[in-house]
Structure 1
Amino acid sequence: MIPYLSSKNQDLLLFAQKRKKEYASAKPFPSIHIHDFFNAELLEEVLAEFPDLSKGDNIEYNDPLQKKFAGQGEALFGEKTKALMHYLNSEPFLKFINELTGIEEQLFSDSYFSGAGLHEIKPGGLLKVHADFNKHPVNNLDRRVNFIVYLNKDWKEEYGGHFELWDKEMSQCVNRFLPVFNSIAIFSTTSISYHGHPNPLTCPADRSRKSLALYYYSNGRPDEEAIAFKDGHNSIFVKRKSDATDSQDWDAYAERKRKKPLLKRIYRKIFG
C-alpha cells in the first residue's frame, strides 16, 4: 500500500514537535501552511477520484458572500479518498493535531464530515472572509481546528484562489498563499480567526479550486475562549475595511434576504 505521508514526516509526533512553536507564534492566529505533506503518488490518485460537485445532489452555496460547492458526507469519496479521510480522522492523526496545536483537551474527529469533506469552487466563485461555526451541529462539541488539503496541480498565481488570514480588526490580510497541490493549511478556529478566499476565482473555465476539509472538536475549551464561544453560532462573515466591493456584496446579500420572505408570501397567496 502507498504510504499516506511524504518521506520527510513519517514520524508525525516528531514532525509536530519540530513545528509546534511555528504554529503557536503564527500571525494573525495559530496556524501553519505546509508543502508536500502527503505522499504525492497517493494524492494523485485522490485527485483522479475527485467528482464534479456542480453535478448531482450536492450542496451549492450561491449568494454574494459565498459561491461554492460541497459534497455531503462521504457518499462521493472514491476508494483512495475514503482511506485518506479515515486516516485523517484516526487516533494517530488526532494525537498529531493535539501535539502540533498545543490544544490540551482531547480532540475528536467528525465521521459525518458535517460541513467538511469535498469542497470545490468554480471560476467566479469565492468565500468571503469569515469565522467558522463553532459547535458541532449534532453533538454540540466545540470546533477547535481546521485541516485543509489542496489538490490543485499546476496552479498559477494569476488564477487567484489565495487562502487569506486576516487580523481581528479586518484592516489587513496578514498571511496568504496559493492553494497548490499537496499543500495543507491547519489553523485554530475561534470566533475571530478570520479567513477566506474573498476574491472571485479567475482560473480557466476548465479548472476549479479543489480541496478536502476536516474539522476537529473538543468537549469544552479554555476559559479565555468561553465568552466568545458561550453560544453556538453559524459562520460569521466580516467586511474587509480596505475593499469597497465587500460593502456592495453585503448590500446585495441583505437585499436578497429581504426579498426571500416576500417571494414566499406571494407563492403561498397564489398556490395556497
Structure 2
Amino acid sequence: MVPQARMTAWEPDTITIRGVRLPVSDLVNRSFFEPTQIEALRARLQAGQPFPHLVVKDLFNPQLLELVTEEFDQSQWIDVRSKYESTRRTALGAHLGPASQLYFDLVNSGWFTEWLSAVIGVPYLLPDPKLFGGGLHESKPGATFAVHRDFNLHRHLGLKNEMVFITYLNKGWQPEWGASLELWNATKDKCVTKVLPEFGYTLLMPHGPASFHGHPDPMNPPDGRPRRSIAAYYYTSPNAGKTREDQVSSIFIKISPLDKLKRVAQMISPPLLWSAARKLIKR
C-alpha cells in the first residue's frame, strides 16, 4: 500500500491524488451545513416515506467520487453469495485507495458526524473506522438483494446501529436497468419509494423497526456495467449521555481535602441529586 500513499500529495489547502488537485474547502458542498439548510434537511428526512430517509444530490465533490470509482479495481474484496443477496464488499479494515480513504476520513470526522446528528436528530453518533458492513460495495449484472432490515447491533462492538450512509457512483444509471434501492412499507407487502443509484446521490437512512429495503429483482444493465456505491454505518453507545463525572474524569494521586470530600459525596449521591446540587453551587 506504500505506492498508493505516494500518489497523494498535500499542499496548502489542497490535496492532490493521481494528479487531480482537490481544494480542501470544496471536498463537500458547504451549503448543506448552514443552520437553515440543516433544519430543511431534517424536515425532509422526517417526511420521507415509507419511513424517515433523505436523498441529497452533489454533497461531495464529483472529482473526489470519480477518483473513488477508479479505486474499485484495486480493492480487497469479500464475495457475499446466498439465496438472499449477491454482491461483494471490501474486507473489514481493508487498506483503501487514497481517494476512498479521504472520503471516509471526511464522513467519519467529528464535524461531519455532528452534522449527521443534527440532521437525523440522534446525538452522540459514532463512526466505525473499520467499516463493518460498509466500505466499497459492488454488484454485477443479475445481482439481487432481498428486502431486509439492517442489523440492530455492531457484531463486534455491541453498539446500536443508528444509520447507514450511502453514496452512489453510477453515471447515467437508468431506472429500467433495475437495482434502484426499494424502500418497503411496514407491512412488507409493497415498495413505496425507489432511490436511483445515480452518481453523486447520497442516501441517509436511519435504522428502525420498519426500515425495510433492498433491490429484489435482478439488475440488468445492457452494457454489463456493475452497480457501485460506498457506505458507512453510524452507531450510538447505550451509555451515551449517562456517564457520571467521577467515571469520566482523570484520577489524580494527590488531591485537596475538599476535592476528596466532593468525590465521596458524588459517589454516594444519586445522579439527579448531585446534578441539582452542582446547579445550586454555580448560582
Asked if Structure 1 and Structure 2 have the same fold, meaning a TM-score greater than 0.5 normalized by the shorter chain, the answer is yes
Inter-partner Cα distance in structure 1 for 2:118 and 2:39: 7
1:4 corresponds to: 27
Specify whether residues 65 and 221 from structure 1 end up closer, same or farther in structure 2 by C-alpha distance, changes over 3 A only. farther
SS of 2:155's equivalent in the other structure is coil
- Which sits farther off after the overlay, 144-153 or 168-177? 168-177
Q: Provide TM-score, normalisation by structure 2.
A: 0.72
Q: Which has the higher contact order (CA 8 A, sep 6+)?
A: 1
- Alignment partners' CA distance in 1, 2:173 and 2:45: 25
Number of the residue aligned with 2:49: 27
State how 1:143-162 maps to structure 2 within 5 Å: 143-162=161-180
User: Which amino acid in the other structure matches residue 5 of structure 1?
Assistant: V
Deviating more after overlay: 41-50 vs 130-139? 41-50
What is the aligned length? 217
Unpaired runs of at least 5, structure 1: 223-272
* CA drift at 1:202: 0.4
Pick from 81, 84, 87: which aligns with 2:100?
81
SS of equivalent residue, structure 2 residue 41:
helix
Kept in 1, the 8 Å contact 2:94–2:130? The answer is: no
Which AA in structure 2 matches 1:198?
A: P
Change beyond 3 A, Cα 1:107–1:127: same
Q: Find the aligned partners of 1:179 and 1:33 in 2 and give their Cα distance.
A: 11
CA pair 88-189 structure 1, distance change in 2 beyond 3 A: same
Match of 2:204, SS state, is strand
Structure 1 residue 168, shift from structure 2 partner: 0.9
Q: The residue matched to 1:51 in structure 2 has which SS?
A: helix
SS in 1 for 2:59: coil
- Identify the residue that residue 167 of structure 1 maps to in structure 2: 185
Aligned to 2:70: 48
1:137 aligns with 2:160: no
Q: CA deviation at 1:177?
A: 2.2
Partner of 2:5: none
**Alpha-carbon distance in structure 2 between the residues aligned to 1:46 and 1:158:** 26
Q: What displacement does 1:14 show?
A: 4.5
Between the aligned residues of both structures, percent identity stands at 31
Which entry has the higher C-alpha Rg, 1 or 2? 2
Check if 1:94 corresponds to 2:105: no
- 2:257 corresponding residue in structure 1: none
State the distance in 2 between where 1:23 and 1:216 align: 16
Q: Distance in 1 between matches of 2:127 and 2:34?
A: 17
In structure 2, runs of 5+ residues without a counterpart are 1-13, 15-21, 241-283
Matches within 5 A, 1:223-234: none
Distance 1:49 1:96, change over 3 A: same
User: Equivalent residues in 2 for 1:242-257 (5 A)?
Assistant: none
Is the Cα–Cα contact under 8 Å of residues 164 and 232 in structure 2 kept in the other structure?
yes
**Structure 1-normalised TM-score?**
0.75
CA RMSD of superposed structures (Å):
2.0
1:107 aligns with 2:107: no
Q: Which deviations, in whole Å up to 9, do the C-alpha atoms of 1:186-207 show, x marking residues without a partner?
A: 1111232101111111013530
User: What letter matches 1:75 in structure 2?
Assistant: A
User: Which residue number corresponds to residue 256 of structure 1?
Assistant: none
Q: In 1, distance between residues paired with 2:47 and 2:239?
A: 19
In the other structure, the counterpart of 1:66 is 85
Q: Which residue of 1 aligns with 2:213?
A: 195
